[in-house]
Chains A and B, each alone.
Chain A
Amino acid sequence: MFREQNKKMHRLLERQLRKWLPGYPEIPSEMRDLFCAINESYFHHDNDRLMVENAMRESSDELTVKKGQINQLLDDQTIVINSLKEAVVRLVPETEIGVETDLLCIADILQESITRREVAESMKEQTDQRLLDIIDNLNLGMVEYDVEGRLTDVQNNFASMFGYDVAELEGKTANFFQAGEKRPAEKACLEGFHFSISKEVYEAPLRKKNGETFWLFCTTTPVYDLNGQLTGGVMVVFDITSQKKLESQLRHARRDAEAALEVRKTILANVSHELRTPVNAIVGITSLLSGTTLNDIQKEYIQTMKFSSDGLLVLIDDLLDISRIESGKVELEKISFSLSQILHVLSRSLGLKAEGKGLKFNYHIDEGVSEYLFGDPHRLNQVLTNLISNAIKFTHEGEITVKIELRKNESEVQRLYIGVKDTGIGIATDRLGAVFQEFSQEDSSTTRKYGGTGLGLTISRKIVELMGGSLNVVSEKNVGSEFYFEVDFRKSEAPAIQKENFNPDLAGVRVLVVEDNPVNQFLATSLLKTWNAVVEVCANGVQAIDMLSNVNFDVILMDLQMPLKDGFETTVELREKYHLTTPIIALTANAISGERDQCLQLGMNEYMSKPFQPEVLYRKIQELIHKDQSEMRA
């Protein structure tokens, strides 16, 4: 039956039929359909089983392969995740990432980190903007440029300083700001403007779009990228045009002031001449008087007069040379002098004045103070005169005491304490420092009451400082003051020139005095004649040249300031035109520094400022005559 339906009988069914169906292989016809269905279901079941087994095997194989792939992927992913974790820890150092931390967790961390970064970036932007706003408000201009000096980022303020729009300046170089320059003088300056890629600070004049010139203060600094590569620079500029104007004004003002100072100097020089001329006469006459036969009282008067006039000359010099004193150009003399003599004279002159006010004046010199010291007796006299005069001026009762104390005594040098003490009105503590200032007195009421220029203490202090000391004051209001200083002096023998040995003699020497002032003419001729010289006088250079072309002289005393032809012109003409070699001694009432050099340069042989010491003049004449004679002999 199954063969008919082209189907085999299932082995199980065949076994079952053989075992359980009597008469098999004969099958009852009514049972054939049943066995047929059973047979089909057996095959169906087998097929299903085979198919399922096949499918399961396939599935299993596939899943095994997939599992292998997944494991491999997992291993790869683990490596990736671990390196990701390391990266995250580096990125966000405070995070704690454990072994079990999964990707979602890392994503959260990154998300949070990104959010924080965004916030930070936004804050940074705000900060940057704020800084830019601040720069805007500060009126600073800022630009960035590359290494070639081409602008890459122009801040609005910078552009508007020049009157440009930002867009007009992008990519421009420093040359752009110098374009259209016409004046060559400024061109040189403008070329100084450059976009530097190093640290620089400079000022430069620049040209605006409308042609106007203005000044900028420029600072530059280099800019580097994250790799440390130089990418260009940043320049911050500040408009200093108004400062520059002010500076220029100040410069002009200073020039004016200097001119004014020059005028003052000239005036002082003229005043000097006017003042010195009469004083010169007094000094000269005094000198002549002291050469005559005098009784003791007359001698003493003459000596007092001489000291006073000398002091007056020094004072005039100080006034004239106040600027010299201030600039420290005053040089002290280093000659032998007698301190006791100075004090003696002072007690004569100022002592009398003090007594006139009903004040006691006394001085004390420590035993052991050397009789003769090296130093500048006139300056010392000047200081003491000033201090004592002040003391007298500000004291109404009591006494003035000058103290010379020996503070240190070495083989060569003595340190002396020199103080002037009074019982006067004193100085308020808070004004003590001010009294040494130029043109300063304790207060303006003092000036009204006591007069004075206020220069005295300043000059005194400067002189003391030049001597190597320091002028100080201790004072108590309404009790008194003491001005004092300590100075080192070198000990000295008696002065080289003793007046007792001075016996001048110019017998037979012919002297020409060229001098316009009659008093000075008289003084000079009188003096020279006492020395037995042959003296001729003429009043100016013209007369002198005229005379010299006819008569020979041994020496010429030449005043510098004269009408018609002054001493300078006359000398030049004599030397260059007439080749006259007669020694010329310049005599001048000016005590202007530099004049001596000028005289010698023009061909004069000596220079003396009036009033001169007769001894010095005599010595110089002697020297020149002998030198002249020895040269002639040679």
Chain B
Amino acid sequence: MRTEQTLWKEDTGWSAIHPESINGQANLVFAFGGIDVIKKDQVFSELQKRYPKAHVVLASTAGEIHGNMVFDDSISVTACQFEHTPIRIHKLSVKDYPNSFSCGEAIREELASEDLNHILIFSDGISVNGDELVRGVNQNLPEGVIVTGGLAADAGRFTRTYVGADSPPEPDQIVAIGFYGTSLKVNHGSQGGWDVFGPVRKVTKSEANVLYELDGESALEIYKRYLGARASELPGSALLFPLCILGENSNSQLVRTILSIDENEGSMKFAGNIPNGANVQFMMANFDRLVDGAAQAAEMSIADNQPDLVMMISCVGRKIVLDQRVEEEVESVCSVFDNRPAFTGFYSNGEISPLMNTVGCSLHNQTMTITTYQEG
């Protein structure tokens, strides 16, 4: 496979394409951009004009990863030419289905076939319960199919996200890309790097991904107390204290971030389910560990090949915490690969990736999730 990349910025416009090798031969194009620019019609039409044979997939972000740098309000474009790997795109609107689970089932039904190798999902990041979505996809999925991806973001505003394929991006959309055949080698890795702190609490009232009470106390109040002065920045500031759902062992820990809050109900909506009765604990950033975590995710994904493309989907929460140091984690990922593959990705409202050593994929929050591609 071959790739080429270009970056749009408001002040500088499109950068030179690097390397300028495939041009019109690209069959898949990823375009990740700031919420206010990616949704513009001319972005899609320009990309379609530039890559007429390609499926163009677009998603809004909370920061674009391009090479070893992180940008805001830019458009990062990566064009790929898969020579031996058939690709199918399935796009659906959340509104056409009763729930997120059904959306997942529809994706699996649409894409599943004997030679299905990998599914890459870009989903709306506000109206979709990522947990239910991946549960639906996993249902009856043929063994060995790797599912990764991420939820689109809106720069930490948590109001509206955009996703599109072969048309200008819109809210409430899910795009899934099916990769077929055995030529493509797909690997993945995912790491958090957050530390748990404070008392372990039991979820005493929740419905799916909406949390009401912890230990019989309003969860929102607890958050406000812990955020102190930054409670006024909710829901964004809640990303500083993601919730760790404690499993029976440390390997099965899941991290959840807040999508929105409801002051009237006193509830908090998370990117994934918060099961009733689960034990949870607050998490807090440790800068060095966040950066190390990203590098570990890269190492997990490198396996024994030298990938052509590295897709980094990191969490908006990490970006808020790391702030000006956010590029450190991208640099640490890039430094793991010494064959100079194309690096792309974005800061998301949720990462989709299998847990370590397990088959079914899960929704993650607050992680650096890496998928690597090599066609040979």
Q: Name A52's contact: one of B199, B225, B284, B324 (CB within 8 Å).
A: B284
Q: In the bound complex, how far is the Cα of B303 from the Cα of A206, in angstroms? A: 97
Q: In the bound complex, how far is the Cα of B241 from the Cα of A41, in angstroms? A: 20
Question: Across the interface, which residues of A come within 8 angstroms of B198, CB to CB?
Answer: 55, 58-59, 62-63
Q: In the bound complex, how far is the Cα of B230 from the Cα of A397, in angstroms? A: 151
**A51 interface contact, C-beta 8 A:** yes
User: Number of contact residues on A: which range applies?
Assistant: 10 to 19
Contact assessment for A51 and B199 in the assembled complex, using a CB-CB cutoff below 8 Å: no
Contact assessment for A66 and B199 in the assembled complex, using a CB-CB cutoff below 8 Å: yes
Contact assessment for A62 and B199 in the assembled complex, using a CB-CB cutoff below 8 Å: yes
**A47 interface contact, C-beta 8 A:** yes
Per the 8 Å Cβ criterion, residues 46-61 of A in contact with B are 47-48, 50-52, 54-56, 58-59
Per the 8 Å Cβ criterion, residues 19-74 of A in contact with B are 37, 40-41, 44, 47-48, 50-52, 54-56, 58-59, 62-63, 66
Question: Across the interface, which residues of A come within 8 angstroms of B229, CB to CB?
Answer: 50-51, 54
Contact assessment for B324 and A40 in the assembled complex, using a CB-CB cutoff below 8 Å: yes
Question: Across the interface, which residues of A come within 8 angstroms of B230, CB to CB?
Answer: 47, 51
**B144 interface contact, C-beta 8 A:** no
Contact assessment for A41 and B324 in the assembled complex, using a CB-CB cutoff below 8 Å: yes
Q: In the bound complex, how far is the Cα of B206 from the Cα of A447, in angstroms? A: 119
For residue B115, give the distance in angstroms from its CB to the closest CB of chain A. Answer: 49
Query: Which residue of chain B has its CB nearest to the CB of A40?
Result: B324
For residue A69, give the distance in angstroms from its CB to the closest CB of chain B. Answer: 10
Q: In the bound complex, how far is the Cα of B200 from the Cα of A63, in angstroms? A: 10
Given contacts A59-B199, A63-B198, contact A37 B227 (CB under 8 A): no
Q: In the bound complex, how far is the Cα of B51 from the Cα of A266, in angstroms? A: 153
Q: In the bound complex, how far is the Cα of B364 from the Cα of A586, in angstroms? A: 141
Most B-side CB within 10 Å, residue of A44, A51, A59: A51
Per the 8 Å Cβ criterion, residues 254-312 of B in contact with A are 282, 284
Given contacts A63-B198, A63-B199, contact A55 B324 (CB under 8 A): no
**B240 interface contact, C-beta 8 A:** yes
Query: Which residue of chain B has its CB nearest to the CB of A53?
Result: B228
Proximity string of chain B (181-203) to chain A, C-beta cutoff 8 Å, 1 when within and 0 when not? 00000000000000001110000
Query: Which residue of chain A has its CB nearest to the CB of B323?
Result: A44
Query: Which residue of chain B has its CB nearest to the CB of A63?
Result: B199
Query: Which residue of chain B has its CB nearest to the CB of A57?
Result: B228
**B226 interface contact, C-beta 8 A:** yes
For residue B240, give the distance in angstroms from its CB to the closest CB of chain A. Answer: 6
Number of interface residues of B (CB under 8 A): 16
Proximity string of chain B (54-95) to chain A, C-beta cutoff 8 Å, 1 when within and 0 when not? 000000000000000000000000000000000000000000
Q: In the bound complex, how far is the Cα of B82 from the Cα of A606, in angstroms? A: 161
Question: Across the interface, which residues of A come within 8 angstroms of B240, CB to CB?
Answer: 51
Q: In the bound complex, how far is the Cα of B183 from the Cα of A533, in angstroms? A: 172
Per the 8 Å Cβ criterion, residues 474-528 of A in contact with B are none
Q: Name B197's contact: one of A41, A50, A59 (CB within 8 Å).
A: A59
Contact assessment for A44 and B324 in the assembled complex, using a CB-CB cutoff below 8 Å: yes
Q: In the bound complex, how far is the Cα of B237 from the Cα of A54, in angstroms? A: 14
Question: Across the interface, which residues of A come within 8 angstroms of B197, CB to CB?
Answer: 55-56, 59
Question: Across the interface, which residues of B come within 8 angstroms of A50, CB to CB?
Answer: 228-229
Question: Across the interface, which residues of B come within 8 angstroms of A62, CB to CB?
Answer: 198-199
Contact assessment for B227 and A51 in the assembled complex, using a CB-CB cutoff below 8 Å: yes
Given contacts A50-B228, A52-B284, A55-B241, contact A41 B323 (CB under 8 A): yes
Per the 8 Å Cβ criterion, residues 298-351 of A in contact with B are none
For residue A63, give the distance in angstroms from its CB to the closest CB of chain B. Answer: 6
Contact assessment for A58 and B225 in the assembled complex, using a CB-CB cutoff below 8 Å: yes
Q: In the bound complex, how far is the Cα of B240 from the Cα of A66, in angstroms? A: 24
Per the 8 Å Cβ criterion, residues 315-366 of B in contact with A are 321, 323-324
Contact assessment for B225 and A37 in the assembled complex, using a CB-CB cutoff below 8 Å: no
Contact assessment for A54 and B226 in the assembled complex, using a CB-CB cutoff below 8 Å: yes
Q: Name A55's contact: one of B199, B228, B321, B323 (CB within 8 Å).
A: B228
Q: In the bound complex, how far is the Cα of B331 from the Cα of A400, in angstroms? A: 154
Q: In the bound complex, how far is the Cα of B325 from the Cα of A159, in angstroms? A: 95
Proximity string of chain B (220-253) to chain A, C-beta cutoff 8 Å, 1 when within and 0 when not? 0000011111100000000011000000000000
Question: Across the interface, which residues of A come within 8 angstroms of B241, CB to CB?
Answer: 55
Q: Name B228's contact: one of A41, A44, A51, A66 (CB within 8 Å).
A: A51
For residue A33, give the distance in angstroms from its CB to the closest CB of chain B. Answer: 12
Contact assessment for A58 and B226 in the assembled complex, using a CB-CB cutoff below 8 Å: yes
Question: Across the interface, which residues of A come within 8 angstroms of B226, CB to CB?
Answer: 54-55, 58-59
Q: In the bound complex, how far is the Cα of B324 from the Cα of A44, in angstroms? A: 9
Contact assessment for A37 and B324 in the assembled complex, using a CB-CB cutoff below 8 Å: yes
Q: In the bound complex, how far is the Cα of B3 from the Cα of A38, in angstroms? A: 36
Q: In the bound complex, how far is the Cα of B282 from the Cα of A55, in angstroms? A: 10
Q: In the bound complex, how far is the Cα of B233 from the Cα of A50, in angstroms? A: 14
Per the 8 Å Cβ criterion, residues 33-54 of B in contact with A are none
Contact assessment for B228 and A54 in the assembled complex, using a CB-CB cutoff below 8 Å: yes
Question: Across the interface, which residues of B come within 8 angstroms of A44, CB to CB?
Answer: 323-324
Q: In the bound complex, how far is the Cα of B225 from the Cα of A55, in angstroms? A: 8
Q: In the bound complex, how far is the Cα of B171 from the Cα of A11, in angstroms? A: 43
Q: In the bound complex, how far is the Cα of B228 from the Cα of A63, in angstroms? A: 17
Q: In the bound complex, how far is the Cα of B325 from the Cα of A40, in angstroms? A: 12
For residue A316, give the distance in angstroms from its CB to the closest CB of chain B. Answer: 117
For residue B345, give the distance in angstroms from its CB to the closest CB of chain A. Answer: 23
For residue A5, give the distance in angstroms from its CB to the closest CB of chain B. Answer: 16
Query: Which residue of chain B has its CB nearest to the CB of A62?
Result: B199
Per the 8 Å Cβ criterion, residues 143-188 of B in contact with A are none
For residue A46, give the distance in angstroms from its CB to the closest CB of chain B. Answer: 11
Query: Which residue of chain A has its CB nearest to the CB of B198?
Result: A59
For residue A540, give the distance in angstroms from its CB to the closest CB of chain B. Answer: 128
For residue A45, give the distance in angstroms from its CB to the closest CB of chain B. Answer: 9
For residue A178, give the distance in angstroms from its CB to the closest CB of chain B. Answer: 67
Query: Which residue of chain B has its CB nearest to the CB of A47?
Result: B230
For residue A495, give the distance in angstroms from its CB to the closest CB of chain B. Answer: 127
Query: Which residue of chain B has its CB nearest to the CB of A52?
Result: B284
Query: Which residue of chain B has its CB nearest to the CB of A67?
Result: B199
Q: In the bound complex, how far is the Cα of B39 from the Cα of A591, in angstroms? A: 154
Query: Which residue of chain B has its CB nearest to the CB of A56?
Result: B197
Query: Which residue of chain B has its CB nearest to the CB of A60?
Result: B198
Question: Across the interface, which residues of A come within 8 angstroms of B324, CB to CB?
Answer: 37, 40-41, 44
For residue B288, give the distance in angstroms from its CB to the closest CB of chain A. Answer: 14
Q: In the bound complex, how far is the Cα of B225 from the Cα of A41, in angstroms? A: 25
Question: Lowest 10 CB-CB distances: which A-B pairs, in order?
Answer: A54-B228, A59-B198, A55-B226, A44-B323, A41-B324, A58-B226, A66-B199, A62-B199, A51-B230, A58-B225
Q: List 6 A-B contacts (CB under 8 A).
A: A48-B321, A50-B228, A51-B229, A59-B197, A59-B199, A59-B282
* A-B contact sample (10 more), CB < 8 A, given A51-B229, A58-B225: A37-B324, A40-B323, A44-B323, A50-B228, A50-B229, A55-B198, A55-B282, A59-B198, A59-B199, A62-B199
